[in-house]
């Protein structure tokens, strides 16, 4: 096995790129905690999870996907599972101002460690209310203009709430087949109105309204799939057509977005071997990085399979990609960044086996 040598440690350099200011290049990519509280409110247990992560030395934490619209109280909102397959625990919401205080506590627990924290905002699927009070999922091709406005308001309101709670920014979830991911994909968006002829219209509206209502230093980023999204059914019928999302990312940067984090399909690959097949979305991230290399205010991040400090360091030297997302490695071992920083350069112990159902759920010992 050929382990790249570390000539100079770039991982623990400060990152100062416009609004993105972190003590190192490691970025905890979002992972739902699947809280035990059916209200969707965070409690001391959730705050403790994030505090432990921050104490472990990661530079930035992306707080888990928060659904901006609440239809039912359970994880069904997020995972869109049939009722009989709902998981036994709950996603966290942030849909009311009276939740700001508890999020302030979470933010200050994290910031004690000089760690940045941004909140990820998501809509999995829009659901229309029936007369009997139940909800039905609606395909994005069939949404009304008013429903688009409702979605826009929900993202903006949640982002403003996040800024009031002290988060350093928000991240729009444009990846993993969720609503905004499908909206920007030519394979899923067949609308002929303004939301179809300009597939970024909703995102532009959301961006502008957030920017107008938060402080100048508030970061607005996205997590995005490296290719425009096709559903599994489309891939079966038409074969997969990999249309790069890099031009969309460039447009998002031109619009004003601060950070693009690359993910893709599937996001959580199994069988990652340190030094061999790490950073599986690096090609797209590198392509975007080359395109915006002169712009020092924009941050390109790559998530998925970052496992060893040697590989991350050599990838940085080769590509200049600014930030490196780690998710499962921190579920396995929250202290991983500090371990690397202290000179123990063994790769993450994470086996990439996907037995973790939530951000605190690794069955193996730390």
Ligand X SMILES: Cc1cc2nc3c(=O)[nH]c(=O)nc-3n(C[C@H](O)[C@H](O)[C@H](O)COP(=O)(O)O)c2cc1C
Q: How many CB atoms lie within 10 A of CB 344?
A: 10
Residue 245 interacts with ligand X (CB under 6 A)? Answer: no
Binding to ligand SF4 by CB under 6 A, coded x per residue (else -) over 272-311, reads ----------------------------------------
92 binds ligand X (CB under 6 A): no
Among 11, 20, 22, 29, binds ligand X (CB under 6 A): 29
Smallest distance from the beta carbon of 23 to ligand X, in angstroms?
19
Q: Is 355 in the site for ligand SF4 (CB under 6 A)?
A: yes
User: With binding defined as CB under 6 A, does residue 110 bind ligand X?
Assistant: no
Contact between 326 and ligand X (CB under 6 A)? yes
- CA distances to 50, 227, 359 from 335, rounded to whole Å, are 12, 32, 14
Contact between 351 and ligand SF4 by CB under 6 A: the answer reads yes
**Shortest distance in whole angstroms from residue 355 CB to ligand X:** 9
CB 320 within 8 A of CB 293: yes
| Minimum distance, C-beta of residue 138 to ligand SF4, in the bound complex (Å) | 34
Our finding on whether 22 is near ligand X (CB under 6 A) is no
**Which 175-204 positions form the footprint of ligand X (CB under 6 A)?**
175-176
CB of 89 to ligand SF4, least distance (A): 16
C-beta of residue 267 within 8 angstroms of C-beta of residue 227: no
> Minimum distance from CB of 31 to ligand X (Å)?
4
- What is the rounded CA–CA span in Å between residue 211 and residue 255? 11
CA nearest to 70, candidates 99, 91, 52: 91
Tokens of 212: 């107008």
Helix (H) or strand (E) segment spanning residue 128? strand 127-129
DSSP reduced 3-state for 67: strand
- When asked if residue 267 is in the footprint of ligand SF4 (CB under 6 A), the reply is no
In angstroms, the CA 122 to CA 178 distance is 7
Residue 227 and residue 352: Cα distance in Å, rounded?
22
Question: Does residue 350 touch ligand SF4 according to CB under 6 A?
Answer: yes
- Say whether residue 99 binds ligand SF4 (CB under 6 A): no
Q: Which helix (H) or strand (E) holds 201?
A: helix 201-213
In sequence order, which residues have a C-beta less than 8 Å from that of residue 16 and are 6 or more positions away? none
Pairwise CA distance, residues 295 & 249, whole Å: 14
DSSP state of 294: T
Task: Give the DSSP letter of residue 136.
Answer: E
Taking a C-beta distance cutoff of 8 angstroms, is the pair 195, 148 a contact?
A: yes
Of 25, 23, 28, 29, the residue nearest 10 (C-alpha): 25
Single out the segment in contact with ligand SF4 by CB under 6 A; choices: 39-47, 92-100, 289-297, 356-364.
Answer: 356-364
For ligand X (CB under 6 A), the number of binding residues is: 25
100 binds ligand X (CB under 6 A): no
* CB of 82 or CB of 363, closer to ligand SF4: 363
Cβ distance to ligand X smaller for residue 64 or 333: 64
- Smallest separation (angstroms) from ligand SF4 to the CB of 280: 14
Residue 208 found at the interface with ligand SF4 (CB under 6 A)? no
For the bound state, the minimum distance from the C-beta of residue 327 to ligand SF4, rounded and expressed in Å, comes to 9
Cα dihedral 65, 67, 68, 74 sign: negative
Instruction: Find the binder of ligand X among 35, 263, 299, 313 (CB under 6 A).
Output: 263
The first and second tokens of residue 171, run together, are: 């991240």
Binding site for ligand SF4 (CB under 6 A): 328, 331-332, 350-356, 362-364
Binding site for ligand X (CB under 6 A): 29-32, 64-65, 120, 173, 175-176, 223, 263, 267-268, 303-306, 326-329, 356, 358-359
């Amino acid at each position: 096995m050929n382990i790249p040598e570390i000539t100079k440690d770039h991982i623990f350099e400060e990152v100062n790129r416009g609004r993105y200011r972190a003590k190192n290049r490691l970025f905890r990519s979002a992972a739902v905690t699947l809280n035990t509280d059916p209200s969707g409110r965070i409690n001391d247990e959730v705050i403790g999870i994030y505090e432990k992560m921050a104490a472990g030395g990661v530079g930035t934490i992306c707080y888990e996907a928060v659904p901006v619209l609440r239809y039912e109280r359970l994880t069904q909102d997020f995972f869109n599972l049939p009722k009989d397959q709902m998981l036994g625990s709950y996603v966290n919401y942030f849909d009311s101002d009276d939740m700001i205080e508890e999020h302030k506590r979470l933010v200050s627990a994290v910031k004690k460690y000089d760690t940045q924290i941004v909140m990820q905002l998501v809509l999995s699927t829009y659901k229309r209310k029936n007369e009997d009070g139940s909800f039905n999922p609606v395909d994005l091709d069939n949404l009304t203009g008013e429903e688009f406005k409702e979605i826009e308001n929900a993202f903006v309101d949640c982002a403003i709430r996040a800024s009031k709670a002290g988060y350093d920014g928000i991240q729009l979830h444009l990846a993993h087949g969720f609503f905004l991911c499908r909206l920007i994909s030519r394979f899923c968006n067949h609308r002929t109105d303004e939301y179809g002829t300009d597939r970024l219209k909703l995102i532009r509206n959301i961006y502008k309204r957030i920017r107008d209502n938060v402080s100048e230093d508030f970061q607005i980023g996205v997590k995005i799939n490296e290719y425009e999204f096709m559903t599994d059914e489309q891939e079966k019928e038409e074969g997969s057509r990999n249309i790069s999302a890099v031009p969309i990312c460039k447009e998002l940067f031109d619009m004003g977005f601060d950070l693009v984090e690359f993910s893709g399909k599937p996001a959580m690959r199994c069988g990652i071997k340190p030094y061999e097949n790490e950073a599986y979305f690096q090609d797209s991230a590198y392509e975007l990085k080359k395109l915006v290399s002169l712009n020092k205010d924009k941050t390109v991040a790559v998530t998925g399979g970052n496992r060893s400090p040697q590989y991350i360091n050599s990838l940085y030297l080769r590509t200049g990609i600014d930030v490196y997302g780690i998710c499962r490695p921190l579920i396995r071992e929250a202290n991983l960044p500090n371990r690397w920083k202290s000179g123990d350069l063994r790769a993450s112990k994470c086996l990439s086996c996907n037995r973790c159902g939530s951000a605190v759920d690794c069955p193996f010992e730390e």
